[in-house]
Amino acid sequence: MLAGAGLWLAVSGVPFLRRRRLDDRLAPYLRDAARPSRLLTVDRAVTPFPTLERLLRPLLADLVSKLDRLVGGRTSVRRRLDQAGRDLTVDAFRVEQLVWGGIGLLVGLALALVALSRQWHTSPIALTVLAGVLAVSGVLGRDRWLTHQVRVREERMTAEFPTVAELLALAVAAGEGPVGALERLSRIGRGELPAELARALARSRAGATLAEALDGVAARTSLPALARFADGVAIAVERGTPLAEVLRAQAGDVREAGRRSLMESGGRKEIAMMVPVVFLVLPITVLFALFPGFYGFTLTTV
């Protein structure tokens, strides 16, 4: 019977973990439109435990609001989620941060229990501080991981751009229009940049112009190459300039920029490679060169 009651509470989403506020009680009567059926709404879970998440949803909402006030930066998080291509809301991302923080807290508590069970000479205050530090590290680590996802995705898009630009130039030179070339590429292409172009085409079908849709792609990323690509396509569509040559020139510019970046990275790696040579290989070489003479000098003195 208790299991049936818990299941009914999970399905109905009744916030039984706290007292209902006046706003929650008046909201159904002040809503403009009728509430849609739960069968037609997609309630996607953020955590690996959807039933527990629905039961704890009121508590999670309070924790998300408190975390949002402490951390802040909703605009930055929204921009980075768009740059990473994640279909998440800011609140869902905050829930993931809470999950990571909870995992860090559990790890800290587990370490504290191990220390207490083995009677290590550790202070309870130090163990509590360690658990708190791990919890904060989990929250901040999810934010850093999002930044890492943005950087990796933009690197993939930069690597894909020359090939995509040349394929578009080939399709345009064969007689297709810009929209047809983009549709063909988004249909047969695989990767981050074709997916972004497919989103731009979907926005253009919804009523926006092609230039506005491509400007949205450039706005969702921080790549100058995509901004130049959007400007070039917009100018070619509006003024009738040859688009194929523009795309080939942009592909060449991106390849040249990638080559320069590779040379700069190689120069930095060359300096880093001198560290083991100077501090490991060179002393061993000197030791092998001097040891026979030192050993012979020792024998003659004896």
Kindly report the number of other CB atoms within 10 A of residue 245's CB atom.
14
**What's the DSSP call for residue 33?**
S
Is the pLDDT score of 274 beyond 70? yes
Q: What is the pLDDT of residues 239-258, one digit of tens each?
A: 766 777 777 877 787 788 77
pTM flag (> 0.75): no
pLDDT of res. 215: 79
- Separation between Cα atoms, residue 131 and residue 134, nearest integer Å: 5
Spatial neighbors of 24 by CB under 8 A, at least 6 apart, are 15
- Total residues belonging to the chain: 302
Q: What are phi and psi of 85, to 5 degrees?
A: 70, 25
* In the chain, % of residues over pLDDT 90: 3
Q: What is the pLDDT of residues 149-167, one digit of tens each?
A: 989 988 888 888 888 888 8
pLDDT of res. 268: 77
31-35, 62-66, 176-180 — which is least confidently predicted? 31-35
Mean pLDDT, the chain, integer: 77
143 vs 221, residue with greater confidence: 143
Averaged pLDDT, 86-91: 82
pLDDT of res. 301: 64
Averaged pLDDT, 31-48: 54
Is the pLDDT score of 193 beyond 60? yes
pLDDT of res. 13: 44
